Amino acid sequence: MASALLSKTTSDWCVNLLCPRYPSPPPILSHPPTLLLTWRPFRDFFSTKRLSTFLAMDGSKAGPLKELPLGIDATTEEEYASQSKLLQEFTSISSIDKAWIFKSDSGIGSQAMFSISQPNLLANKRKKFILSSHISRESNNSVNFQWAPFPVEMMGVSVIVPSPSGAKLLVVRNPENESPCQFEIWGRAQVEKEFHIPQSVHGSVYADGWFQGISWNSDETLVAYVAEEPSPSKPTFTGQGYKKGSSTEKDFGNWKGQGDWKEEWGETYAGKRQPALFVININSGEAQAVKGIEKSLSVGQVVWAPPVRGSHQYLVFVGWSEGTRKLGIKYCFNRPCALYAVRAPNFESEADGPELKDNSTEDVPVVNLTQSISSAFYPRFSPDGKFLSFLSARSSVDSGAHSATDSLHRIDWPIDGLLSSSAKIVDVVPVVMCAEDGSFPGLYWSSFLSNPWLSDGCTMIITSIWGSCQVILSVNVLSGEVIRISPTDSNSSWSVLTLDGDNVVAVSSSPVDVPHIKYGYLVDKESKSTAWSWLNVPSPTNECSEKVKSLLSSLQFSIMKIPLRDVSDSVTKGAAKPIEAIFVSSKTKRNDPFDPLIVILHGGPHSVSLSSFSKSLAFLSSIGFNLFIVNYRGSLGFGEEALQSLLGKVGSQDVNDVLVAIDHVIDLGLASPSKLAVLGGSHGGFLTTHLIGQAPDKFVAAAARNPVCNLALMVGTTDIPDWIYVEAYGSESKNSFTDAPSAEHLTLFQSKSPIAHVSKVKTPTLFLLGAQDLRVPVSTGLQYARALKERGVPVKVIVFPNDTHAIERPQSDFESFLNIGVWFKKYLS
C-alpha cells in the first residue's frame, strides 16, 4: 500500500482522500514520507497506528510516531523540558510559615520551633514539617541557633497550637470524610491524650487563617476553638416514601434527600458548614458547643478573656452576621463584624475550683463589645488583662472597598468581669489618609501573633505594609506611637515570626533573595532609644540548589517612584502622588541591548505586589525576562486617599497608571517598546485584557490567570456582586447593589469591561482558569478567549478542573507558570 500511495500524483491524493478543500501538497516523490506528516489531510486520514505501519512498510528508518501531549508541539517540547527542570528547582524551595519560642529547660537561652512547608508535586499537596532549634545569645552582637539535624514531617496535621507555658502541644487532624475529628495532646516525649470528636458534635476544625481560632485557657485545661457545625438533619426516604423522624444516621434501607440549601461564604468555603464555637476539656475529652450564640452569626478568632476569681470564664470572639445573604469573605475585609463576649461552658472538672456565682449557662446574653464601630477583628488581651486591643477594617466596610487602610483600637477590660456593650472604644492608630513622603502610610493587612507583646505590656510587634515593602512595626497601644523597627534602608520585605522575650525572630526576603531568618533586638534597652539591630541567622531553611543560587546572584531589583501624568486638579493630594513599581533585571547585559520585559499586575485591585521572594516570579527572571511589577493607584500601602481614588474608575485610571509606568521605564532606557509582555491574575487579569485591547500594538504576548473579562456576565455568578457595583460605580453604590441588575447597570458594567475592547486585540494570549472559581467564574475567561479565537488571535487555554480562584494546588501552580514561561519565550525570543 505504501509504495502504491507514493506513486500517486498530487491530484490523485486529493481525489483519494475526498478532501479537495485542502491545499495541495508538494509532489510526493520529491519528499520523504516523514514530511507528509505535516500535511493536514494526511494526518486526518491516517491514525497514528496506520502511520506507524505505513512508515515501517516503506522501509523508512523512522520508528513509531511519538505522540506529543495535547497543546505541545515538537518546537516547544524541548522548551517545556528545560524550563520544567528549572521550575522544579525553584518550586522545591521551602517556605517558613510560623514559629514559636519556649523557655529552655536549663534556663539558658530558649527553644524555637519552626513550621515550614514545601510543595509535593507528585502528591499534589503541601508537605508540612517542624524544624527545631536552640537559641543562645553569646554577646550583644551575636546569636547562635543550634538546629536539629533534620525536620520532622507532620503528616495529616491540620493545625498545631502550643499551650501558653509550652508544656503541651495541641495537634488537630481534620478528617477527609465522615470520620471523627482527631485531637491530640502532646507532651515532651509522647502523645499524652487522644480524643475523637464525632461528626454529630462538629465537623472539621477551621484552619483557614480567618475564621480560625484556637485558644488555651490560663490553666491549660480547656481549649476553645472554631469548627464546622454538625451536619443538619436531612429528609430520609425509603422504598415506601418519606420516613418520619429524619436523622443524620446512615441506614442501608433508606437514602437521604438534600434538604434546604444553605448560603456559604463563597470562594474557598464551598462545602464548608457554618463556623461555630466549641470548647474541649483536655482531661476528659468532652467537647461542648458554646451556647447563646445566634445561629445567623458565623464565629471566628476566639480568645479567652482574663479569668476573674469567683466568676465564670468568658470567651471573646469575632462574629459576622450573614444578613439577607452571605457574600464572599475571602480577601474581603468589607464584611461587617464585631467582637462579642460569651460565657464559656462549665465542665464537671471545674467543681474543684472556686465556687461560681451562677452555675447556669442558659439565657446568658452574648455581649456585643464593639457596637459603635462597623468592623472589629484580631482581638488580643494585654498581658495584665487590663485592656483588649483589636484591628478594624471600618474604612473597607464604610466605603465598600474589599480592602483598605486598617485602624487599631482598644477597650478597657472590667476587672470585676461585668461586661458592657457601651464600653468606650479608644482610637490607637487611626486611618492615614495621605502620608508625607517617607512617613508612616497606615496599617494594612496587619497580622497579629497570638502573643505580640513586649515585656512592657503595652507594645505590640506587628507586620504591615509600607509602600511596596512589608515591614515590622512596634505600636504602643497606650500612646499610639508607631515605629518601623525593620531596617529603614532595606527595600526587602520583612515579617515577624515570633518573639523571644523582647527580641524578634523575623524572616526577610526580596525578589532576588530567598527567605532568610533574622534576629532583632533593641540596641539600648536602658535608654529611650528606638534603634533596632538585626542579625543574620544561618539556617537550613535558607538553602536552595547551587543553580538557583547562581541565577539569583545574577539578578538585581529596585523600587521606582513614577510620577503621574495629566493629574486632574480635582483629585485629592494622596491620589496625585507618584506610584511605585518593582523592577527586577539582570546585573549584566545579555546578548541583546534589551531583555524582554514582563509587566506584572496584582489582583484585588486593593492588594499590593510586595518586594518579597516569589518562586514563580524568580523563575521567570531566571529564564531571561526582566520584571516590571506595578503598584497602581488603589493598591494597599500608600494611604487611604490613593486607594479610594480608584473606586468607580476601574478600566481607566488603573489602566492609565500602568501605561504611564511602562512609558517611564522605556524612557529610562531600561526596556524596549517592541519586547513587552503583560501578566496578571484576577483584577490583574482584568488589567491585562484591558491593556491588550486599549493598547493593541503595545504587547507582544499576554497571560491571564482567572481574569475578570466581563463584569456584566460576572455580576450574576460571582460570590462578590457588590464588588462589581463599588468598583464600577463608586462607594455610593455599596448599599444599592442588587442580585437583579437593571439594563442600565449591565450596560455600564459592559462598558467598563475588557470585553468592550476585544475587537481591537491582536496580542497572543494565554488563559489559565480554575474551574471551581467562585470569585471570577470560569465562564468569563472562556467567553473572552473564544471571542479572541473568533477573530483569529492566537489563544491557548488551560483549565484546572479542581482549582479555585488562586490556582494554588502545587501541580496547577507549577503547570501554570511553566506554560507562562514557554508562552512568553515563544513570542519574545
Residue range 143-182, pLDDT digits in tens:
999 999 999 999 999 999 999 999 999 999 999 888 999 9
Which stretches does DSSP call E strand in 331-468? 338-343, 367-368, 377-381, 387-392, 407-412, 426-429, 459-466
- 297 has pLDDT over 60: yes
In tens, the pLDDT along 128-154 reads 999 999 999 877 789 999 999 999 999
The β-bridge relationship of strands 626-631 and 579-586 is antiparallel
What local confidence, expressed as pLDDT, does residue 530 receive?
81
Q: Band of the pLDDT at 55, cuts 50, 70, 90?
A: very low
What local confidence, expressed as pLDDT, does residue 19 receive?
36
With contact defined as beta carbons under 8 Å apart, do 461 and 485 qualify? yes
In tens, the pLDDT along 460-492 reads 999 999 999 999 999 999 999 999 999 999 999
What local confidence, expressed as pLDDT, does residue 246 receive?
59
What local confidence, expressed as pLDDT, does residue 418 receive?
85
Does residue 686 fall inside a structural domain? yes
Does residue 619 fall inside a structural domain? yes
**608-614-617-619 Cα dihedral, nearest 10 degrees:** 180
What local confidence, expressed as pLDDT, does residue 601 receive?
98
What local confidence, expressed as pLDDT, does residue 27 receive?
37
Of 768, 779, 775, nearest to 809 by C-alpha is 768
Phi/psi for 68 (5° steps) reads: -85, 150
> Per-residue pLDDT averaged across 112-137, rounded?
96
Greater confidence (7 vs 748) lies with 748
Does residue 794 fall inside a structural domain? yes
What local confidence, expressed as pLDDT, does residue 75 receive?
76
What local confidence, expressed as pLDDT, does residue 45 receive?
37
What local confidence, expressed as pLDDT, does residue 590 receive?
67
Q: Say which of 805, 812, 813, 816 is annotated catalytic.
A: 805
Does residue 163 fall inside a structural domain? no
Mean pLDDT (the chain) is 89
- 5 has pLDDT over 60: no
What local confidence, expressed as pLDDT, does residue 520 receive?
96
What local confidence, expressed as pLDDT, does residue 250 receive?
62
Q: Band of the pLDDT at 68, cuts 50, 70, 90?
A: confident
663 assigned to active site: no
- 3 has pLDDT over 70: no
Does residue 644 fall inside a structural domain? yes
What global pTM score does this model have?
0.89
- 762 has pLDDT over 90: yes
Q: Say which of 474, 682, 753, 816 is annotated catalytic.
A: 682
805 assigned to active site: yes
In tens, the pLDDT along 241-254 reads 988 875 555 667 88
In tens, the pLDDT along 411-429 reads 999 988 888 888 899 999 9
C-alpha cell at 406: 486598617
C-alpha neighbours within 13 Å on the C-beta side of residue 30: 5
> Per-residue pLDDT averaged across 353-377, rounded?
73
**483-486-490-491 Cα dihedral, nearest 10 degrees:** -80
What local confidence, expressed as pLDDT, does residue 555 receive?
97
Does residue 781 fall inside a structural domain? yes
CATH code of the domain containing 620: 3.40.50.1820
In tens, the pLDDT along 497-535 reads 999 999 999 999 999 999 999 999 998 877 677 899 999
What local confidence, expressed as pLDDT, does residue 795 receive?
98
Q: Say which of 654, 657, 722, 773 is annotated catalytic.
A: 773
What local confidence, expressed as pLDDT, does residue 677 receive?
98
Give the percent of the chain with pLDDT over 90: 76
> Per-residue pLDDT averaged across 806-822, rounded?
97
Instruction: Give the chain's domain count.
Output: 1
Does residue 760 fall inside a structural domain? yes
> Residue for cell digits 487599631?
408
What local confidence, expressed as pLDDT, does residue 365 receive?
82
Tell me the C-alpha distance between 640 and 169, whole Å. Answer: 41
What local confidence, expressed as pLDDT, does residue 198 receive?
95
773 assigned to active site: yes
What local confidence, expressed as pLDDT, does residue 62 receive?
47
Does residue 372 fall inside a structural domain? no
Q: Band of the pLDDT at 199, cuts 50, 70, 90?
A: very high
Range of the domain at 583: 546-828
